[in-house]
Amino acid sequence: MNIYRLIPITAPLAILGAATLALPVSTLASSHREAPFITEHPKVDATDFYMFNSYEPGRTGYVTLVANYLPLQAPYGGPNYFSLDPDALYEIHVDSNGDAKEDITFQFRFNNKLKDLALKIGSPGQEKQISVPLLNVGAVAASNTGNLNITESYTVTMVKGDRRMGNAQAITNTANGSNAFAKPVDNIGNKSIPDYAAYAASHIYDVNIPGCGTGRMFVGQRKDSFVVNLGETFDLVNTNPLGPVNGEKDDLADANVTSMILEVPASCLTAKNPVIGGWTTASLRQARLLNPIPSYNRPAIEGGAWTQVSRLGMPLVNEVVVGLKDKDKFNASKPQDDGQFADYVTNPTLPALLEVLFGVKAPTKFPRSDLVAAFLTGIPGLNQTAATAEMLRLNTSTPATPGAGQNNLGVIGGDSAGFPNGRRPGDDVVDIELRVAMGVLLPLTDAPDGQRAYTDGALVNAGMFDNAFPYLKMPLPGSPN
C-alpha cells in the first residue's frame, strides 16, 4: 500500500510540502559521532534535538526542548559512567524572529564534586584511610545520596540577545530560589539504586524562567530516544530500503544518553510570529594545557574564548548531507552562514548512492530546488520564517497531537504537529527524510521511484515514550537484577 494515498486529499499543498524541509539524508543515528573532531570529545557530542508543543494533558501553551548529548552510553559503562564536562558550555538556542540568529539561549554548566570516600584498611592499630575506586559505596535513593562518591550539579542561565554579550539571568528553583540543581547519577544498577524511577523523579524541578513565568526542567541520563538500524546502514546500507518498516533491529536499543529537558511557556520564546527556530551547540575553551601531574580537579588547564565544536538542528544533516571534509566546519558554524553548504543540498549524493546499491531510480531534477526552498525558509502556511538557514522550526500555534493519536510520519502522515513542524520523540525522522530524499514530493517525471515506502526497518512511534514530562524513558540499568 502506498502510504501517501492515506493523506487526506484536502491537505493543503503547502502542508504536504513540509516534508521537503528535511534535507536529503540517510538512515543514521541522528548525530552520534557525526564528524571527525567530535569523536575526540564525546562528552560534548550532541546526539538529538527535539522541540515540540507539549502534549502532556494540561500543558497547552508550553514548548518542550530536549537536547541529548554523549552518545552510545553502555548501561554497564562503569566505574566512571558518563558525567558531563565541567569545562564545557552546553547551549540551546531559539530564534524568535526568523533571522537565523539566537534571541534566547539557555546555557548549561556542570560541576562535579569528589567526596573522596575512604575506608580504613590495614591491621588493627595500623589502619590507613584508603580512597575507594568506585562511584558509590552503597545504595542510593532520593532521600539518601550519602553513598555517592561524586555528586553532579548544574546551573542554567537564560541569555537574551547575543549568546556571548546579551542579558544573562539565572533560572532558579521555585521551591527555594536556588540557581544550582542536583543532577542524578547514572543508572548504575538495581542494587545500587533500587528505585531509579523515584530517584530520578526527585530531580524534576519547577523553575522560574526570568521574564517568562514558570516551567519545568530535568537533566540526567535517559534511554537513548533515537531508533535506527545503525550497523547495517553504515555497511553500505546493507539492508532492504523498501522494508518492512519494522523488520530490522534498533541498534540503539541497549544504549543510554544524557538529556537536558526544559519546558518553557511558548509566549517566552515567540515574538510577533508564532514560528520559532531552534538548535543546540556545545563549546570548549580555545586552549587546553595538559597537567603532567593531573588531579581529579585539575587534569588540564582550560583557557581562552569559547569555541563551538558541536551543532545540531534538523536531524541527520551533518552525517550524510555535508561532505566529510566540511563536517567539522559545519559543527563550528552558525545557521546564518549556511549558504556555504548549499551545494550539498542542491546536488545531494545519497539518492545517487541508493541508485547504485539497489537499482532504484534517483530523482533527476537538479538543482533540488524543492529541497532548498523548504529547507532554508520553512513551509509556507505551516512554519515558514524569513531566514535562509538550517534549524529546526516549530509553529507554536499548531495544536499538539496527544501521544495516542500521533502519526510517526509527521506531516507527510497527515499529522501537522509532527516533524518537520518541530520534532517529537516518536517521529520517525529516518523514514520521513529518506522518502523525501528520494523525491516523494516530486512528480514521477522527476522522481520515478519517489513514491516508494523507503525505510531503515527500525520502527519508532509515540508509544515508545511517556506522555508526560520528561517524555523520554528511564535509562537502562547497568545491572538489571
In 3D space, the residue among 383, 411, 386 whose CA is nearest the CA of residue 397 turns out to be 383
pLDDT at 198 over 50: yes
pLDDT for position 19: 33
Residue 73: φ, ψ to 5°: -80, 115
Cβ partners under 8 Å of residue 2, min gap 6: 451, 453
Q: Which amino acid, 13? A: L
Tens of pLDDT, residues 78-99: 999 999 999 999 999 999 999 9
Residue 400 in grid coordinates = 499538539
Expressed in angstroms, the distance from the first to the final Cα of the chain is 44
Task: Please calculate the CA angle 407-413-418 and round it to the nearest 5 degrees.
Answer: 55
Q: What is the mean pLDDT of the chain?
A: 90
Total-model pTM: 0.92
Three-state DSSP state, 230: helix
Which of 9-18, 123-132, 229-238, 250-259 shows the lowest per-residue confidence on average (mean pLDDT)? 9-18
Q: How confident is the model at residue 38 (pLDDT cuts 50, 70, 90)?
A: very high
Q: Which residues contact 440 (CB under 8 A, 6 or more apart)?
A: 4, 19, 412, 447, 450, 451
Choice among 296-310, 318-332, 459-473 with the minimum mean pLDDT:
318-332
Residue 151 in 3-state DSSP?
A: strand
Are the CB atoms for 234 and 354 separated by under 8 Å? no
Q: Dump the DSSP string for 389-456.
A: S--EEEETTSPPPPGGG--TTGGGGT-TTSTTBSB-TT--HHHHHHHHHTTTTS-TTT-TTTTS----
What's residue 440's pLDDT? 84
Judge whether residue 339 has pLDDT over 60: yes
Q: pLDDT tens, 376-423? A: 778 888 998 988 899 999 999 999 999 999 999 999 899 999 999 999
Could you tell me the pLDDT band of residue 23, with boundaries at 50, 70 and 90? very low
Q: What is the dihedral of CA 203, 224, 31, 427, to 10 degrees?
A: -100
> Strands 392-395 and 118-121, how do they pair?
unpaired
430-463 confidence digits (pLDDT tens): 999 888 889 888 899 999 999 999 999 999 999 9
Q: What is the pLDDT of residues 43-81, one digit of tens each?
A: 999 999 999 999 999 999 999 999 999 999 999 999 999
The secondary structure of 337-363 as a DSSP string is GGGGGTHHHHS-SHHHHHHHHH-PPPP
For 183, the grid coordinates are 543532577
Annotate 232-300 with DSSP letters as a single string: HHHTTS-S-TT--TTSS--TTTT-EEEEEEEEEEHHHH-SSSSEEEEEEEEEEEEEEEE-SS--SS-SE
Query: What's the longest Cα–Cα distance across the chain?
Result: 89
Local confidence band at 235 (pLDDT 50, 70, 90 cut-offs): confident
pLDDT of residue 30: 66
